[in-house]
Structure 1
Amino acid sequence: MTTIQRPVGELLRQWRERRRLSQLDLALSAEISTRHLSFVETGRANPSREMVLRLGEQLDVPLRERNQLLLAAGYAPAYQERKLGDPGLGAVRAAVRQVLAGHEPYPAVVVDRGWNLVDANNSIAVLTEGAAPELLAPPANVLRLALHPDGISPRVLNPGEWRADLLARLRRQVESTADAELAGLLAEMRAYPCAEEVPDVEIPGRGDIFVPLRIRHGEAELSFFSTIATFGTPLDVTLSELAIESFYPADEATGAYLRQQAAAGGSIGTGQTETATT
């Protein structure tokens, strides 16, 4: 199969338009002339390696795509892409495991750019319990696991608003990265059935401050909110695409339930989710 590489100027123009910037806006932020930027975009001027990197930085282009810009301009990639098991990322792996272990007895997961499960702590079983084995097999995709009819969705008590939140999050990521695989995942997620109406815009009720995940676990009804952490100043493609999502009890009853389960020394779920860390 022959891959056709588009000119770097065309790619830069598409990223500029995706960020809704005029040529003047980008030229000012990159400290170059509008005329020179125009020449680069139309192919009348060949940008230097430093210029490609500067424009990529100003356009907030993901590191993976910055490498593609460099290749299109005839330069070698600037950013390495090492697997998480690489010895050079040992400190990263240790930090990730520390975060996951420290979050017990509450669930936490590590995902890559495609929402594939990279790692998780033992408490994630409270969310994944009952899901079809094929959805848990590496590389498990956490969005597919969340919304697939054979995943955790039958136990979710607010499927409409939870689905709307996940789809909105994925849609924003597609718009930001222009990733074709993520766009395909979004189309797949939208095709899954939902037992409730999915709101176009979430309007908070009195006292609401976030969309919770309300899920049944045995006879208990648990409620969670989550936070997402990423690595600051990454210079490696793999590292730049990792995210840690940590789930917290949204009410005291949920927190007490999880702490009691942990104190009893038993597994919260029926099994531990398999993860892929290499």
Structure 2
Amino acid sequence: MIAVDVRVGGVTTIHPVGVQLRQWRERRRYSQLELAGLAEISTRHLSFVETGRSTPSRDMVLTITDHLEVPLRERNKLLLAAGYAPVYAESAFDAPQLEPVRAALRQVLDGHEPHPAIVFDRAWNLVEANSALSLFTDLIPPHLLTPPVNVLRTALHPDGLARHIVNIGEWRAHLLTRLRRQIEITADPGLTALHRELAGYPCPEPEPAVELPGPGEILVPLRLRVGDRELRFFSIIATFGTPMDVTLAELAIESFYPADPATADLLRDRPVR
């Protein structure tokens, strides 16, 4: 049985492919019977795979990880652990084959002007942005804008955008909840470390334990103090619908929209650099 090295807390632990598949199954809250039915294999065979008594075929690894909605990056790792070559490419963002994707993203970002929009990767590092994002970045000190720029760190760092967010307790709880949900999906230790860092930042306001709407609210707003004005935004996140490349699967576009007429007027009249 081939195993893979996983580093946890500075100690390298060897996890065979069967153990990893069991961990993903339990993370998705499937019983062996439920997963075996979805994968059209016997419960006994799945049990043998998880305990190391049987080595899964390449197709079985792909079928099981598809039903468990395992991220493409982790599917490649599981294939390697089982002794097979990865099947999903991981292209550099500036690779020639991604030129149509970069052009499409640029069109989306430019088309969203004069409203801010960004593209970020799995680690929440900024990949692309439109010029309207300067409304936010002008409020952030240079030391937080040194590449790679982490979107969550710039938002919640006490020296960053957090100083200008009127509802920082509410917005911080919202962002940390999003990050926790991503950790549950990906089991990424890097995101866990990022959450630990962000959760350790001081916050001058209490954070709600559960996101509840305020009077008349239908979305969690970003309330931003810019000069003597309060701007209000909501955002929409989009991802690629059918990615077959690790890089594409981990990209997301977040587009910000004005949540009231005053913010819309300011964005429309504001010169875009």
Is 2:162 aligned against 1:120? no
What SS is found at the alignment partner of 1:6?
strand
One-letter identity of the residue aligned with 1:143:
L
Partner of 1:58: 67
2:222 to 213, 226, 233: 213
- Structure 2 residue 170 is the aligned partner of structure 1 residue 161: yes
Confirm or deny that 1:134 pairs with 2:143. yes
Checking the alignment, whether the CA contact within 8 Å between 1:249 and 1:255 is kept in structure 2 is yes
Counterpart Cα distance in 2 of 1:186 and 1:74? 33
Mapping 1:40-59, distance limit 5 Å: 40-59=49-68
In structure 1, distance between residues paired with 2:146 and 2:49: 46
**TM-score normalised by the chain length of structure 2:** 0.94
Deviation at 1:31, TM superposition (A): 1.0
Q: What amino acid is the match of 1:229?
A: A
| Cα distance, 1:151 vs structure 2 | 0.8
Equivalent position to 1:242, from 232, 236, 251: 251
Match of 1:228 in 2: 237
Matched, 1:258 2:267: yes
- Mapping of 1:162-177 within 5 angstroms? 162-177=171-186
Once the two structures are superposed, what CA deviation does each residue of 1:22-60 show, in whole Å capped at 9, x if it has no partner?
001101111111111000000111110000000010000
After TM superposition, the structure 1 = structure 2 runs for residues 76-115 of structure 1, keeping only pairs within 5 Å, are 76-115=85-124
Aligned-partner Cα distance in 2 for 1:248–1:5: 47
Cα separation, 2, equivalents of 1:23 and 1:15 = 11
TM-score (norm. length: structure 1):
0.92
SS of equivalent to 1:77: coil
* Structure 1: gaps spanning 5 or more residues: 268-278
Alignment partner of 1:203: what SS? Answer: coil
Map of 1:272 onto structure 2: none
TM-fit CA distance, 1:130: 2.5
Give the structure, 1 or 2, with the largest relative contact order (CA under 8 Å, sep 6 or more).
Answer: 1
Distance in structure 2 (CA, Å) of the matches to 1:250 and 1:130: 20
User: Identity percentage over the alignment?
Assistant: 63
Paired residue total? 263
Q: Answer yes or no: is 1:10 the counterpart of 2:19.
A: yes
Contact kept in structure 2, 1:129 and 1:152, CA below 8 Å? no
Match of 1:39 among 37, 48, 53: 48
Q: What does 1:190-205 correspond to in 2, within 5 Å? A: 190-205=199-214
TM-superposed CA distance for 1:209, in Å, is 0.6
Distance 2:101 2:94 in 1: 10
Considering fraction of residues, name the structure with more strand. 2
Q: Give 1:169's aligned amino acid.
A: R
The residue type equivalent to 2:105 in the other structure is V
User: How well do the aligned residues superpose, as a CA RMSD in angstroms?
Assistant: 1.1
Deviation at 1:5, TM superposition (A): 4.5
Q: Give ranges in structure 2 of 5+ residues lacking alignment.
A: 6-11
CA deviation string 1:146-177 (max 9, x = no partner): 00011111011100000000000000001110
Candidates 180, 183, 186, aligned match of 2:189: 180
